[in-house]
Copies of this chain bind each other. A is one copy, B any other.
Amino acid sequence: MVKTAILGFGVVGSGVAEVLSGSGNGVSRRPDSLIEVKYILDVRKFPDSPFAPLFVDDFSTIESDPEISVVVETIGGMGAALDFTERALKAGKSVVTSNKELVATHGRRLLDLAAEHGVVYLFEASVGGGIPILRPLSECMAANDILEICGILNGTCNYIFTRMVQDGVTFQEALKGAQANGYAEQDPTADVEGYDTCRKLCILSSIAFGWHMLPEQIPTRGITEITQADEAYAAASGCRIKLLGRAVMGQDGKVTAYVEPHFVPMDNPLASVDDVFNAILLKGDATGDVMFYGKGAGKLPTASAVCADVIAAARKLERAGYRPWQANRPECVGSLDDLSSRWYVRLAHGALADAQRLIYGRVDAAERTYITNQSMTRPQMEALLADLPVLAAIRVLD
């Protein structure tokens, strides 16, 4: 049993408590869930929380408890977060965080401090929320030189652009909508001015290129000047506007990193990343382009990334191997005959009821094609079509 302490009971910290305790999702079914939350540190009181007995208000309780081997820092910022992280590492405890500002600014020194004390400092959740990106970049692409990083790293900006395009609203209107939906802070400066993207790009660049890129080395432009007319022209030219964090390795070995809005052609996979989704495109010299896509923020996605790091820190001894898998379980194999879908059906002639007819000019007029209105299993579909001249029947993905 590995015992942890969570510093800061805000959105992410409370999500971590839920996931680790199994109350937020099914994590308790996992064989890895031998992790117990022993303390939660917060200046506020949460008497009604199921975790109320765990609250402490003095960090030294955690620092001096030899049972605590992993500390989760979800305070944010560079004040207490930095102080507690340093003290935890010096006390021989691994630290896991989602604090991009701290890692972007002090990451190198904190990594050194962790190594000196034989522990680890992990921060998968600091970039891309729940998208696995830092570990794949660090480990799976270890045989590549990274030539370029190009990412949509801030969900707030991307949500604003998506609303401007899809709903035809202004930047200010889209920003207000983002705030109303909880996708933007009341002070949105860090998001819309690109600072958040800049910090994440620092972390990606430092791992990709092997030396600490600092925020002040990344020229940063935000999105506040983008108008509806610009969006319309982007569409007219087959592009979408996206705020990109980009770092390019030059022939001279120098890395140029910057944050700027871009026109992105629709044939680039980044162009169709909408709403609060993030995506990061990495160009490796051997593997070419690989892209990682998912929700870049949110309580449970971010908490799940933090928890994966806690698990990684906890099971250091087996960490090069995959999570072990057990023997086959025939009793757990579901029957495909029970899986329902809508179906595409092409008939040589005749008609299908309760289905949407598809029209396509070039095909023989006797043929009829449909997508069924109802979901059904393959046996149900085959029974339905038993007396019809079926040319094709293909499952429709929901």
- The contact string, 1 if C-beta is below 8 Å from chain B, for chain A 34-50, is 00000000000000000
Least distance between A266 CB and chain B CB atoms (Å)? 9
B138 and A136 within 8 A (CB): no
Known pairs A145-B29, A304-B287; A395 contacts B321 (CB<8 A): no
B229 and A367 within 8 A (CB): yes
Identify which of residues 133-149 in chain A touch chain B, using a CB-to-CB cut-off of 8 Å: 134-145
Interface size for A (C-beta < 8 A) is 142
- The contact string, 1 if C-beta is below 8 Å from chain B, for chain A 294-311, is 110010110111011011
Tell me, yes or no, whether A213 is within 8 Å of chain B by CB: yes
Least distance between A343 CB and chain B CB atoms (Å)? 9
Tell me, yes or no, whether A212 is within 8 Å of chain B by CB: yes
B263 and A288 within 8 A (CB): no
A237 and B325 within 8 A (CB): no
Give the interface segment out of A20-28, A173-181, A380-388: A20-28
Tell me, yes or no, whether A164 is within 8 Å of chain B by CB: no
Interface of chain A: mostly helix, strand, loop or mixed? mixed
Residues of B close to A358: CB separation below 8 A: 233, 236-237
B134 and A322 within 8 A (CB): yes
B132 and A26 within 8 A (CB): no
Give the interface segment out of A59-67, A85-93, A185-193, A330-338: A330-338
Measuring CB to CB, which residues of chain A are less than 8 angstroms from any residue of chain B?
19-20, 24-27, 29-32, 107-108, 111, 114-115, 120-122, 124, 129-132, 134-145, 150, 206-207, 209-214, 217, 219, 225-227, 229-230, 232-237, 239, 241-242, 244, 248, 250, 252-258, 260-265, 268-270, 272, 284-295, 298, 300-301, 303-305, 307-308, 310-313, 316, 319-336, 338-339, 344, 346, 356, 358-360, 362-363, 367, 369, 371, 391-392, 394-397
Q: Which 7 A-B pairs have the closest CB atoms?
A: A132-B140, A130-B287, A256-B334, A143-B307, A290-B294, A132-B136, A286-B304
